[in-house]
Structures are given as structure tokens and as C-alpha cells.
Structure 1
Amino acid sequence: MTLPQTFLWLGLFLFGRTAFAQSTRAVWLDELAIKSFSEGIPAVLGKTNAAGDSMRIGGSYYRHGVGVNSTSILAFWLDGHAKTFSALVGVDDQGQKNLPHVFYVIGDRNILFESRVMRRGDVAQPVSVDLTGIKRLGLLVRVVDEGLTKVYSNWADAQFVMLDNHQPKTIPNTDERYILTPSAPQTPRINSPGVVGATPHNPVLYTIAASGERPMSFAVNGLPAGLSLDAKTGIITGQVAKRGTYPVTLHAKNALGEATKMLKINIGDTISLTPPIGWNGWNSWARNIDQGKVMASADAMVRMGLSDHGWSYINIDDAWQGKRGGPFNAIQPNAKFPRFKEMVDYIHALGLKAGIYSTPMITSYAGYTGGSSDFADGHLTDSIVANKRAFRYVGNYRFETNDARQFAEWGIDYLKYDWRIEVPSAERMSAALKQSGRDIHYSISNSAPFASVTDWVRLTNSYRTGPDIRDSWNSLFVSAFTLDKWAPYGGPGHWNDPDMMIVGNVTTGSEIHPTRLTPDEQYSHVSLFSLLAAPLLIGCPIEQLDAFTLNLLTNDEVIAINQDPLGKSARLVQETDGIQVWLKPLEDGSYAVGLFNVGNFGKTPQSYFRWGDETATSFTFDFTKVHLKNRYALRDVWRQKNLGPYTGTFHTAIRHHGVVLLRMFPEK
């Protein structure tokens, strides 16, 4: 080859390399829909700190970045299409003083960056990591905040350098949506709770929930005076004057057979003898809720068959409220609810119950009329309407009695009362509801202080034990797997409430989307809520339920654990190598046991993220270690399958973040 030919070949080679080289571009973290990447509980915000204010670290201002609150988990799917990640990290100048934070960048299980221990006032620490070949990336801030608020920190000037036109995506949730529970038989099966409580002279609404082929007829032996049954619908209504416990026998009959079940009707001072089970509209529609959507949800509860398995509450959350007025000078519905009483009557005619939302604050969290005011007549001024966030406090004039009388007049069965919980407001509304002339389940929200738990037991029917739940394993873990200390206080008439359920399509923090919980995590979610005797309130559009989610919500043996008349919450009785054992005694002397593979969540930086290579764990459940007797007949509750007698131990494999849910019947 001549020298000119050599230069020509070299030029063509270099030109070809340049022509085929991958281009790169910078992507600011705050340009992404960052809330959809967050698996923490508090909100994350782009271009500001987590309070929505200027982002500052050690006195320096940053125009770009993401502000986070408390322990923060951001997970990204890069699939090998990223080159670098860089940022400046530190505690925001408005954050908690002297609280130590540590920042991590983790790629495909490897820690690529770990900051020094950082506190408010420290100068920002630079981050620069090579992401070549990385598929999954996690940005983690670990901080033990012990319930403190305003735990602000920042990923300032954070950006990816991406290859070509690729963008970071959310972690795919493509695990098989496997169905465990067999279909309910076409012969009748009664699924409603075996106990119900009502106050003397107050209206009763109890629906015999039964699955099986339709048409079906119903009968009841021993109904107390004042109650009557609609034999076609199974709806029991009326009122009972005399206190006491009335045992009755329920019957459901179709062309294939007949089912019976004993029911105790307790007329006294305690309602909500089993946890409420139903639907709440916030995680479905948020502020876009309206009368049509509520009535459609009630229709779907019946049409999809959920009501046949005991699901009964249709609860409206925030955003129904209009101005104060009417005969009671109470909160009236806004224009989205033009025929409120008609809507409630429609829900009741389906055999379902109706719930509503309010707050003792001047304005609700969504900015609507609340239960107090700084004006004697309770009106809202233009300045309040224009600056609603500034009026999230309890005003000088309070209207609990007015609003409770209006709720009772409409026929409301459930009140979610939402604010920064303190005893005086809780006590005033408790008294108002008891004097309203109607039994209304009283649920307070959110993050009830544990120090006042005996007050919540005394005053309410359920109380939120933590912050708003999000559809992530971290949020589920914090909301439910940490409730052992609350367990002794929950029971008939006063239930520990870890918030709504996060199955189906949800709107927790972003546009409506399928839950980010894996199928294994969803089985764990429903299992633990049932073991805890927690309220079961799904937060998804009912008409959008797919076959997997519907199957998840209609296993009558799981629901029966939740609705067990004994009303005991499960306790965490063992934790070994990432496996938790939760044990719940039941009324018939058997036990419900959940074996959960929590994967040592929170104990290492890597454990906060899902890496896609997780495997099942083998576990031997030793009965004696949790103080159980030696021999039991075991039943797999999700598969509704008898496993046979076991003596001493039971060995099984438990999928990552999954569960084995057992019913244990002692043998002689």
C-alpha cells in the first residue's frame, strides 16, 4: 500500500468511527417526572427543596436539582444507555439541624458513591460516577428521622449524561401476575361478617353478602323486633330499641343448594365490631371526584362481584365540599354533587354504605371548606379561597355539631376526619357523631401520635397509624410492617389503620397508573392488612379491576381472617434472616400465620431497591419458637388448599417480598 493509500484508508477509518460514534446529551434530574421515580413516602420536588422553596446547601443556591424529604428512594431503569451521573449533595439549609444524612448512588447492586455523613450547614459534596453498562440505578438518602418533619436534603445540579436519545425510565414491573385462588363455587356461600353492632334506636343496614349463581333468595331466623329482611336482595334494615345480643341464622339459597351462617347482632354502645371493608375515592380520582364517579363506583362494586364478598363502603374523600349553609349551617356539597341525598340513597339501595370526608381545619388539605372558621357564621373570604394552604389550622369557631347533624340527615355511614391530629378536635367530633342520631364509623387521619393511642381507642372507630401510603414496597413496609407496637390497642370498635390499599390502578403522587407493587408484594400487602385486622379500603377505580386484582380481593378465607369476630391483631413473633412471622389468634381457636420474606429491607443500602435478580428463600417454621403447640392441620389460605397435619415444623420456600399465608388448626 502506497503512502497516499495509507492516509486515505486511515481517513476513511477515522471518519467511519466518528460517523458511527454514539452521541450523548445531558438530562437534568428535575426535567424528569420525578415523582414517578420516587419510592419514598414524602413528596420529591424538582428545582426546589422538598418544601417548595429555594434549594440551598451550605449557603449556596442551586437552580437545578431535586429536593427530597426524610429517607428518599429514587429508582431508575437505564438499561445500559447512560454514561455518567453527577450532582452536588447535601442537607438543605431549611432542614433539621444536626440530623445525619448519608447519600448513595447504587448501580446493579454495587455502591458507586457513598457520601460522608452530612448535616445542615455542610458544604455540598460532589458526585460523579461512571454508569457504563448499568441497567438499574438507585439514588438513596438514608436518615433516621425518628418522626421529625422538615428533614430536607438535595440532589443539586443532578444530571445524567445519556447515550443517543435515551431517557431514564421507571423500573419495569413485569413479574408474572399469577393467580392463586380458585374461583368461588356456584353453590351459595355466605361471606358477610358473623357479628354486627348498632346503637339502640339508630338505623341498621346489614347486607348478607353471598357468592354463587343468581338468582338467590335469602331468609333469616330470629331477627329481633324492629328489623326486616328483603328476601330478594338480602338487605336487613330497621332499628332495634332494646339492648342485647341477638343470635340469628342467615340463609342463602339458589338452584344449586343452600348455605347458612350464624350472625350475632349486638345492640349497645359499640359499632364497627369488624374492620370496615370497601372503597375510598382519593387514590382513584383525587380532586376530580364527582357524583357520577361515586355512583359508577357503587355500581361497579356490585357488578364486579366485590359486594358478594363483603365489600360494602363507598367513601368520598376530599373535594366534595362547597359553602356552609342549609338548615344546619353545615358544609354543603359543591356543584360536582348536585343531588347529594339522592346519591346516598342510591348507594344504600344497592346494600352498600356511604362515607364522607371532612376536617376540623378551616380548609381541607385539597383546599375545600373545613369544619371551623375565624368567623361566627363559618363563611370563607376571598383571601381564604385564594390562599387555602395558609388556613390549615383549627379556627376559633367550630361546627362539629352542625356538620354531624347534616351527615346523619344525608344518611352517611362513615366519616374520614383529616388533620394534624390532636385530642380536643377528635373529642368534639366524637361527641357530635354520637349525638347525631345515626351510627357513623369515625375514622381519624393521619399519623395519629402513638403517645395518645388510648385516646384514639376511646374516641374513634379507626385511627391512622402513619403517613399517607404510596404504591411502593418502602411505603408498604413503613405503613404496615412496623405496626407491632400498635397491635395491643386495636380491636372491635377501634381499629389500627395503616391507610388505604395500593392495588389496582392508583394515583398516589402521579397520574393514574398500575400499582408499582410486584405481584408478590401485593399478596403480602393483602395478607398483612388482613392479619392486622386493618380497614380494607381499596383506592383504585373499581371498574378498571383486572382478573389478577379481582382475584386478590375476593379470597373469602383471607377476608375472613380480617373480619374475624375476635378482632385481635397479629403480632410479629419472629424475625430471622429476612423472614418475618406474624401470628393472629382467631375466634375458633385456630391461628392465622403469615410468613413474609421482607428481604432484610432497610438494613443495607441495596435492600431499598428491586434489582430483578431476587430469588425465593427457604424457611423452616418452627412452631415451638413462637410458643405454639406441637401438632396442627395446616391450610394454604391463598390456594384454599389443605396441606395436611404437621408436627413441630413446616418447611417452605417464600418468594422475595412474598408471603405464605397459613391457617393452623390444633389437633388433639
Structure 2
Amino acid sequence: MGTTLVYGQKNNTIWMDDLSIRTFSEGIPAVLAKTSGSGEAIRMKGITYSRGIGVNGTSVLSFLLNGNASAFSAVVGVDDMGMKGLPYRFYVIGDRKILFESGDMKWGDQPRMLNVNLTGIKRLGLLVLVEQGITKTYSNWADAKFIMKDEQMPLNIPNTDERIILTPVAGTQPKINSAAVFGARPGNPFLYTIAATGERPLVFSASNLPDGLQVDAKTGIITGKVLERGVYTVTLKAKNSSGESVKQLRIKIGDTIALTPPMGWNGWNSWARAIDQEKVMASADAMVKMGLANHGWTYINIDDAWQGQRGGKYNAIQPNEKFPSFKQMTDYIHSLGLKLGVYSTPWISSYAGYPGGSSNLEHGFFPDAVRDNKRAFRYIGKYSFEKEDAMQMAEWGVDYLKYDWRIEVPSAERMSVALKNSGRDIFYSISNSAPFSNVKDWVRLTNSYRTGPDIRDSWLSLYVSAFTLDKWSPYGGPGHWNDPDMMILGNVTTGSPLHPTRLTPDEQYSHVSLFSLLAAPLLIGCPIEQLDAFTLNLLTNDEVIAVNQDALGRPARLVGEENGVQIWLKQLENKEYAIGLFNIDGYTKTPQSYFRWGDEKPVSFTLDLTKIGLKGKYTIRDVWRQKNLGEFEGTFNTGIRHHGVVMIRLTAHQSTKH
């Protein structure tokens, strides 16, 4: 920081790399201070810069200046470690006006110096545009600095929009919220919990259960084993002093599990490497105490950093010292009616530097030298241990495996076979950035496959992760789900210490709506015990969840985009439909669209039902408000907030023919 005196006013030089720069970034890979996106020194055209910010991919940096800045300067260009032949474009945008545009720049081009007058500018955006989906596209804002008035500093764009709770509070009467279908393999342990709201105590029952299953009347937990293949129609009941709820459940005993997307929690975006047994058990307790389990939330998934050395009767990965009683922990989670997930990788070292599923040593020992140089061991070793690890997981009672990182088909197949032969139904999820070219293999081998990079709590990341999934939609369905990654609600640790999600309230409604329409896995990515009333309400709307858990299992399709509004249509069972109308406001269409300027307004939108193939009369219901809006034919008009959504469910009138 430096100080100058201009016309009696003290001006401060604020270097951008002295700021907590990650808090200003909406990019997907992390931005790095005084370092290029590759982790090396900032270097362009052979010149090394000691100061600046390195970015990777499309980068969005937003600053609140409130007229307290007079200038911004930097040297911009492609890092010497960047991608050759790819066009990069740099923008400086103030209050919606483009103040600097680089034009196309490529690797090897001379860096460009810029000095922009910021007098009177309230909001500033720094944007680097490159083709989405390409990695290692390193570029730089070298020697980047602001000239600020007096003692002022660049600030974060505020996220202070009112957090309006739309969903009514559940009543005292019982209501069963479980999905209408559940799959298990013959002879494997069966665990299913009847999810129900209503004043406790509830008394549960399940009539016409197949031989081998029994229900606990106090908890609604159904356990046992079913030997005979078939489809069994079971009548579930939940009763209290206020009334009774009845729902039909189809139990399908066969080769396919995961007939609806999984719902649960993953610990990475909550605790990252700091996860331990105490935090996992506290999360399971919170899943029940906060009432999430009553709405169908089931999985408690441990991500990376639980793994210790190989051992035990299978010579499998054992828990490290942070998990002293792994089997007892698993049994406790099952006693709550919940399920447990773990993480592994076919690599020698996991992403976080813990033992993986292969080794260059015959017995799989994990030396300290590997941990100390983990990046060098992110590959598949000479010896693989899929069968051993799968058998150990089954013996512990594990219900879910997240298999990381950028899995290729042979590794996916080896673990798929091992899990199916383990004697337990273990949901199999591969992560991340599964190549679309192999989608038919992912459908054949896995229960879910990550369709893109790790998600971050920004609209850019949500857009890339979810709003671009239409091409994947035909492949998702019962037993194999398109996975855009964890949910970015509540307090998250994506790229910086634990902080409230940077999605606006309207963006959060869009987030949950689109994930539900896409039939995506719903995995909470924040500490459950820290959920506030607004976030808990987002996660416990049973009509929204029902769209996600619909037994037809058909992901929504993008059927239109008009006037900045995307129309996503999902066919449901019983010839019903769910529609999401998302006001994306032309996002990605202009450089200005990547930023929030504080003057955004709702839009009025008219949906032409006939254009999307829905002819006739429909009863339309607002699923967030759980309120019927009336009968409509031909068109439906509504207001939609900026980056917000109107999510509706359509039931055909008796006179409507399909």
C-alpha cells in the first residue's frame, strides 16, 4: 500500500493481491494472489511479475467502490503456462459501461497495460472470457492496483436481498413424504425409512411387505432381506392423534438400485480435510433433530480425509485416527434410519493426500513420501484393490461410495463390479467432470456421474454446473443420475473459509428448483446444525422434493428461452408436468451480464403452453408456495425476479386429451 497527495486529498494505492481476493471471485477454479493459476510465478512473454492475480478459466471479479476509487491499472495477458491457440478476452466494466476491452489475446501475445479512470464508479467488474470447459487456461491481472480516496478500500458486493420464506409450515397432521418407489437387490440388507412430517409421536405400519422385511412401528424403519425378485406394492401408514396418512410404495427387488436420486449430506464443503467422526455423528444427529429426515434426507457422506493405512482381514483401506470407531459410527447412523457414505479414488493418493485404491507397492502401504508429494501420485498405481475395499465397505455397512477424480472407464468398471459383488447395495457415484463422450458407459456402470467441475457458491458456477445440462438429460433416469455436484446453500467452504453462500436468495430458489427438475442428486454441502430458517425452508418443501423424487425419473429438458427466461419442462408420473421459469436475464450473452449491478428488476413473462406441447386446460400450482393458481389454457403469465424462478406443477383437466 502506498500514499500520495493529490489536490489536498490523500490517495491510497491498494494492490489487488493484498485483498482477500477469493471473496471477490465468482470463478470456478480459485484465483491466486501473487501466483498464476498454475501455482507457478506469474510470467507473461518471459517476464516475471512479483505482484498480481492469476486466474483460470472464465473469471469474474466484482468490487463495490461506491465512488471511492479514482483509477485501476494492471498488465493483462495469457500466462506462459496457459493454453496455446485459445482466445482470451479481458474486460474492465464500471456501472455497466465497458471501460476497457482487450480484444482477443492468445498465448505468446505481448501483455497489455491498462489504466482506467474510475471516478464516480460504484460497482466494478473484472472479466476474463475463455471457452467454457477447457482447463489450464491461465491468465493474469499482473501489477493490478486501485487508487482509492482517503482510507477507503474495495468492498465485496453486498448480498442483502430479503430472504423471503415462501413455503408454509407443515401442520400437525401426519404426511408421508417418501418417494413412491424403492429398489434393492435380492438377498442384500434392506434399509428404508418412512419419511413423514406431523406431530410426534407417530405410529408407522407397512402392510403387504414382502417376506423377509419388517417395520419398526416407532421409527418407521424397514429392515431385513428379500430373496425373491419382483415388484411388491406396499401400503405405508403414519398415524398420530391428529389423523392418518397413507401412501403406496412400490418395492422393486432386482438388479437396479437408486430408483430415485439420493438425498443427503456431504462433508467436504462443510469441513474439507477437518472432517472427523464427531462431526459426522453430529451431522447425523442434526439431520434428525432439524427434521430433514422427515422429508426424505437420508445419506451422511464422508468425503476425502477419512482414509488410513491398509489392513484388516481384506487388506483394505482402514480409517485413520480421526475415526476411532468406524463400525460403531456406522451402526449408530443406521439406527437413526440414515445411511453412510464414504470417499475413495483409484489413484495412489487422494486429492487431499490420503491413501487411495491403488499402489506401486504390492501390499498397498502408503508411505509418508507419497503424502508429502501427493500431486505426483495422482495416478493409478501398479496394484489395485477395488475388491478388497468393496468387501470392507460392505462389512462396515457403507451405503454410498463417491469415487474421485476424473474417473476413466476401466477404473469405473472395476469398482462397479466389486461393489455389485460385495453383498451390499452401495450407491456408486463417480466424480468429477465425467466426459460426455462416455455417457453410455457411466449409465451402464454407475448410479451417478459428475457432469462438470467442482461447484462453487456463485451464479457463474451454478450456471455452468446446472443450466448447461440439457444435453445430459436424455441419459439420466432410474439407477443412473446426472450429478451437477453438491448444493451450495447455507454456510460453505468453497474456496475460502466457512461463509454464507454468495448466491442471492432468488438464486438459491433457482438452485433448488433446477436441481429438482433435473432429477439431480440432492446433497447438502453445509454444516446441517448451522442451518437457519430460510435455508431449512428451502430444503424441506415436500412438493419441490416430490418433483426431484418423481418415480418416472425423467430429467427436465430445456424447451425454450425467450426474453431472458429459460423454460425447463419435466414430465412426471400420471401425465403431470413440472415447469421451471428461470429469469437468467441474458446471462453470458454480454460482458455486463456476468455481474450484479444493483438495479436489476423482475420481468413479466407469458408462457405459451402450446409452444411446449401442452394443449388443453391445466390446473397450475405454485409448488414453492404450495398454492393452486387456477386453471389455464394456452398461456400463463407471471412475474419472475432477477435470477429467480417460478416453479409450477401442471395437472391436466379431465377434458384435456394427450
Instruction: Give the TM-score band, short-chain normalised.
Output: over 0.9
In structure 2, distance between residues paired with 1:616 and 1:363: 48
- For residues 164 and 542 of structure 2, the distance between their equivalents in structure 1, rounded to whole angstroms, comes to 18
Q: Report the Cα offset of residue 20 of structure 1.
A: 9.9
Residue in 2 that maps onto 1:30: 17
Alignment length (residue pairs) = 650
Q: Deviations over 1:157-215 (max 9, x none)?
A: 10111222222121110000001000011100000111100000000100000000011
Specify the alignment match of 2:140 in structure 1. 154
Q: Secondary structure at the match of 2:142?
A: strand
Shift of 1:34: 1.2
**Secondary structure, counterpart of 1:633 in structure 2:** strand
1:369 aligned to 2:348?
A: no
Aligned CA RMSD, in angstroms, stands at 1.0
Match of 2:130 among 140, 143, 146: 143
Q: Which position in structure 1 is the counterpart of 2:334?
A: 348
Partner of 2:179: 193
The residue number in structure 1 matching 2:83 is 96
| Distance in 1, Cα, partners of 2:602 & 2:372 | 54
Indicate the SS of the match to 1:540. coil
Greater mean alpha carbon deviation, residues 203-212 or residues 18-27? 18-27
Deviations 1:415-469 (A, max 9, x none): 0000122000000000000010100000000000000000000000000000000
- Matches of residues 497-536 of structure 1 in structure 2 within 5 Å? 497-536=483-522
Output the amino acid matched with 2:628.
N
1:10 aligned residue: none
Q: Distance in 2 between matches of 1:538 and 1:592?
A: 23
Select which of 402, 411, 417 maps to 1:431. 417
Equivalent position to 1:494, from 477, 480, 489 = 480
Of 30, 38, 50 in structure 2, the residue corresponding to residue 63 of structure 1 is 50
Query: CA separation in 2, counterparts of 1:32 and 1:399?
Result: 45
Partner residue in 2 for 1:578: 564
Partner residue in 1 for 2:370: 384
CA–CA distance in 1 between the matches of 2:385 and 2:155? 48
**TM-score, length-normalised on structure 1?**
0.96
1:514 maps to a residue whose letter is: P
Equivalent residue for 1:211?
197
Q: Following the alignment from structure 2 to structure 1, what is the Cα–Cα distance between the partners of residues 155 and 264? A: 34
Q: Report the residue type matching 1:309 in the other structure.
A: H
Q: 1:19 Cα deviation (Å)? A: 12
1:464 matched residue in structure 2: 450
In structure 1, give the amino acid aligned to 2:561: E
Find the residue that maps to 1:89 and give its secondary structure: strand
Separation in structure 2 between the aligned mates of residue 122 and residue 162 of structure 1, nearest angstrom: 31
* % identical equivalent positions: 70
Superposed displacement of residue 286, structure 1: 0.5
CA distance in 1, matches of 2:15, 2:345: 39
Match of 2:104? 117
Q: What's 2:121 paired with?
A: 134
Corresponding residue number in structure 1 for 2:265: 279
CA distance in 2, matches of 1:371, 1:80: 55
Which residues of structure 2 form unaligned runs of 5+?
none
What residue in structure 2 maps to residue 480 of structure 1? Answer: 466
Q: Distance in 1 between matches of 2:101 and 2:47?
A: 22
> Aligned equivalents of 1:574 and 1:511: distance in 2?
38
State the match for 2:590 in structure 1. Answer: 604
1:269 is the counterpart of 2:267: no
User: How far did residue 504 of structure 1 move?
Assistant: 0.5
Decide whether the 8 Å contact of 1:90 with 1:125 is kept in 2: yes
Q: Is the contact between residue 354 and residue 412 of structure 1 (CA under 8 Å) also seen in structure 2?
A: yes
Relative to the length of structure 2, the TM-score reads 0.98
2:213 counterpart (210, 227, 247): 227
Shift of 1:567: 0.1
One-letter identity of the residue aligned with 1:31: D
> 2:405 maps to which residue?
419
**Paired AA for residue 421 in structure 1:** I
CA distance in 2: counterparts of 1:355 and 1:80, whole angstroms: 50
Q: Give 2:613's match in structure 1, choosing from 623, 627, 636.
A: 627
Q: For residues 201 and 507 of structure 1, what CA distance do their matches in structure 2 show? A: 40
CA distance in 2, matches of 1:205, 1:653: 43
The alpha carbon displacement at 1:623 in A equals: 0.6
Q: Which moved more, 1:74-83 or 1:416-425?
A: 74-83
CA distance in 2, matches of 1:185, 1:143: 50
Task: Tell me how far apart the structure 2 counterparts of residues 19 and 264 of structure 1 sit (CA, whole Å).
Answer: 76
Q: Matches of 2:137 and 2:394 in 1, distance apart?
A: 41
Using the TM superposition, give the Cα deviation of residue 324 of structure 1 relative to its aligned residue in structure 2, in angstroms: 1.0
Letter in 2 for 1:132: T
Pick the aligned partner of 1:52 from 39, 50, 55.
39
Measured against aligned partners, the alpha-carbon deviations of 1:91-131 in whole angstroms (never above 9, x if no partner) come to: 11111111111100011111111113111111110111111
- The Cα shift of 1:396 comes to 0.8
Matched, 1:74 2:61: yes
1:39 aligns with 2:26: yes
Counterpart for residue 4 of structure 1: none
SS of the aligned residue for 1:524 comes to helix
The whole-number CA distance in structure 2 between the counterparts of 1:57 and 1:43 is: 20
Matched to 1:501, the amino acid is M
> For structure 1, which segment, 607-616 or 56-65, has the greater mean C-alpha deviation from structure 2 after superposition?
56-65
Q: Could you say what secondary structure the match of 1:23 adopts?
A: strand
Shift of 1:381: 2.2
Q: Which residue of 2 aligns with 1:541?
A: 527
Match runs of 1:11-26 below 5 Å: 21-26=8-13
Q: Which residue number in structure 2 is paired with residue 255 of structure 1?
A: 241
> Partner of 1:480: helix, strand, or coil?
helix
Aligned match of 1:85? 72
Q: Does 1:453 align with 2:439?
A: yes
Secondary structure of 2:573's partner?
A: coil
Return the alpha-carbon distance in structure 1 between the equivalents of residues 53 and 163 of structure 2: 33
Cα shift at 1:148: 2.4
CA distance in 2, matches of 1:531, 1:587: 13
Whether the 8 Å CA contact 1:59–1:121 is kept in 2: the answer is: no
Q: Distance in 1 between matches of 2:6 and 2:32?
A: 39
Q: Distance in 1 between matches of 2:530 and 2:402?
A: 24
Amino acid at match of 1:66: I
Aligned to 2:394: 408
Instruction: Measure the CA separation in 2 of the matches of 1:20 and 1:249.
Output: 81
Give the letter for the 2:65 counterpart: L
Of 636, 640, 645, 1:654 maps to 640
Out of 634, 637, 644, the position equivalent to 2:630 is 644
* Secondary structure class of the residue paired with 1:478: helix
Structure 1: unaligned runs, 5 residues or longer: 1-17
Question: 2:161 aligns to what?
Answer: 175
Indicate how the Cα distance of structure 1 residues 507 and 25 shifts in structure 2: closer, same or farther if over 3 A, else same.
Answer: same
Q: Which residue of 2 aligns with 1:309?
A: 295
